[in-house]
């Protein structure tokens, strides 16, 4: 069977998040005629930090972007699990013990999006803004219908349109995402507490806080998580009172306390997700990233899995005799690994939040991180 020639293949990618942009670069580098349709008026990212583990770095390296990442990111030295009250060390993954090319970075999401968007444009990807997709119709010439009535036809449509994906609905039916009973706060603060190049997970009963440095170590990124029975609002940008946040985590000590004390502006939101989609591809349409497999952030793998998807999709298409064989191979190569990561992230919610300290510590002797972070 001859490999498929992607040269000039008309590919439309829905969504200019980390997954969509990475896929656009990967497919354009293989010769595709690639355009991204993004609902927003600009490609920006207001969120805070992101951990890019070695499996994600391997994708950026393969795309020729690791140097750009390194120039904007902090190279991580370790991931540490700490007890919440006094900050006592429970477990440490020393990244210096990994092979030299297994690098791990902390990057501001805005910097990563900026890097990817620049690389996509430089590669010749067309980026079309204010294109809100309302419906995706699979077929031999699949179509994306916009909310304003316009249509985009292609030979291949990639749905990288996140949690509320219209592409997911087209392939799997429409089901609302479910609340995971976890609420998160995020903030960045000046690094006045001398936070080293380490991700610290501060674990407490029914709550945890993750901290790590950003932007040359000038800032510290904080994500705090608490279990809760219900949540009505959705969105990333609901402002909360820093004093209320401090009160909810009043028993946290160590470096977590120093970071909490420095918070002056904080956003809160409920964490929602879907199960991993049963169907990722059909009739010249494929899903990628959160559109296929949203996850709790407790393995720091959502964006990195989207990057892996993007690389494997390009590789599977290039090696296949036709589009739909390539898409089927893409799903087959990705589905089990992604399901394993999503399960591990959900398991971490349980482990991080156990009430009895010795049990919480013992649970971490079964840490599954190392096998997942390796380039897959």
Closer residue to ligand FAD in complex, CB, 7/148: 148
Confirm if 329 and 43 have CB atoms less than 8 A apart. Answer: no
Closer residue to ligand FAD in complex, CB, 4/307: 307
- Tell me which residues touch ligand FAD (CB under 6 A): 14-20, 37-40, 50-51, 131-133, 160-162, 164, 166, 184, 186, 223, 289-291, 297, 300-304, 306
- Cα angle 7-12-18, degrees, rounded to a multiple of 5: 105
Closer residue to ligand FAD in complex, CB, 304/323: 304
Element (H, E) at 32: none
Query: In the complex, what is the shortest distance from the CB of residue 2 to ligand FAD, in angstroms, rounded to a whole number?
Result: 32
Instruction: Give the integer Cα–Cα distance in Å for 111 and 121.
Output: 15
Enumerate the active-site residues: 212
Query: In the complex, what is the shortest distance from the CB of residue 159 to ligand FAD, in angstroms, rounded to a whole number?
Result: 9
Closer residue to ligand FAD in complex, CB, 18/312: 18
- The structure tokens listed for 269 are 């939101």
Closer residue to ligand FAD in complex, CB, 4/199: 199
Rounded to the nearest 10°, the torsion over CA 171, 172, 176, 179 is -120
Strand residues in the chain grouped as ranges (E): 10-14, 33-37, 49-52, 74-75, 78-83, 89-94, 105-108, 126-128, 133-137, 143-146, 151-153, 156-159, 178-190, 198-204, 207-214, 219-227, 238-240, 266-273, 281-282, 285-287
Closer residue to ligand FAD in complex, CB, 297/326: 297
Q: In what order do the strands lie in the sheet with 49-52?
A: 49-52, 105-108, 74-75
Strand residues in 217-347 grouped as ranges (E): 219-227, 238-240, 266-273, 281-282, 285-287
Query: In the complex, what is the shortest distance from the CB of residue 167 to ligand FAD, in angstroms, rounded to a whole number?
Result: 9
Query: In the complex, what is the shortest distance from the CB of residue 140 to ligand FAD, in angstroms, rounded to a whole number?
Result: 23
- The structure tokens listed for 290 are 């959160």
CA dist list (Å): 251 to 61, 78, 203, 257, 305: 42, 25, 11, 9, 34
Query: In the complex, what is the shortest distance from the CB of residue 86 to ligand FAD, in angstroms, rounded to a whole number?
Result: 25
Confirm if 160 and 14 have CB atoms less than 8 A apart. Answer: yes
Closer residue to ligand FAD in complex, CB, 4/185: 185
Query: In the complex, what is the shortest distance from the CB of residue 148 to ligand FAD, in angstroms, rounded to a whole number?
Result: 11
Query: In the complex, what is the shortest distance from the CB of residue 165 to ligand FAD, in angstroms, rounded to a whole number?
Result: 7
Instruction: Give the integer Cα–Cα distance in Å for 158 and 83.
Output: 42
CA dist list (Å): 358 to 81, 91, 225: 13, 13, 21
Secondary structure (3-state) at 172 = helix
């Amino acid at each position: 069977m001859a490999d498929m020639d992607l040269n000039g293949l008309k590919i439309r990618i829905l969504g200019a998040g980390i997954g969509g942009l990475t896929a656009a670069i990967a497919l354009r580098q293989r010769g595709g005629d690639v355009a991204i349709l993004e609902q927003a008026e600009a490609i920006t990212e207001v969120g805070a930090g992101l951990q890019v583990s070695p499996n994600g770095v391997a994708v950026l390296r393969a795309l020729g972007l690791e140097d750009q990442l390194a120039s904007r990111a902090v190279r991580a030295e370790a991931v540490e699990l700490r007890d919440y009250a006094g900050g006592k060390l429970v477990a440490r993954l020393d990244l210096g013990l990994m092979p030299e090319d297994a690098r791990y970075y902390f990057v501001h999401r805005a910097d990563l999006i900026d890097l990817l968007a620049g690389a996509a444009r430089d590669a010749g990807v067309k980026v079309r803004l204010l294109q809100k997709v309302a419906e995706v119709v699979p077929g031999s010439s699949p179509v994306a219908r916009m909310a304003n009535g316009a249509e985009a036809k292609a030979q291949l449509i990639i749905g990288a349109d996140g949690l509320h994906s219209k592409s997911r609905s087209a392939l799997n039916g429409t089901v609302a995402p479910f609340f995971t009973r976890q609420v998160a706060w995020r903030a960045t603060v000046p690094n006045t507490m001398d936070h080293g190049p380490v991700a610290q997970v501060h674990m407490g009963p029914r709550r945890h806080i993750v901290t790590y440095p950003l932007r040359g170590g000038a800032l510290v990124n904080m994500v705090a998580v608490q279990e809760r029975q219900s949540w009505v609002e959705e969105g990333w940008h609901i402002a909360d009172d820093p004093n209320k946040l401090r009160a909810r985590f009043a028993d946290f000590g160590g470096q977590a306390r120093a970071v909490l004390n420095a918070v002056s502006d904080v956003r809160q939101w409920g964490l929602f997700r879907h199960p991993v989609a049963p169907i990722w591809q059909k009739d010249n349409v494929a899903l990628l990233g959160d559109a296929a497999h949203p996850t709790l952030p407790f393995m720091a793998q959502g964006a990195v899995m989207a990057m892996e998807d993007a690389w494997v999709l390009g590789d599977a298409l290039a090696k296949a005799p036709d589009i739909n064989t390539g898409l089927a191979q893409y799903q087959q190569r990705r589905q089990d690994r992604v399901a394993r990561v999503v399960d591990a992230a959900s398991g971490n919610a349980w482990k991080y939040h156990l009430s009895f300290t010795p049990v919480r510590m013992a649970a971490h002797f079964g840490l599954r991180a190392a096998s997942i972070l390796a380039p897959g």
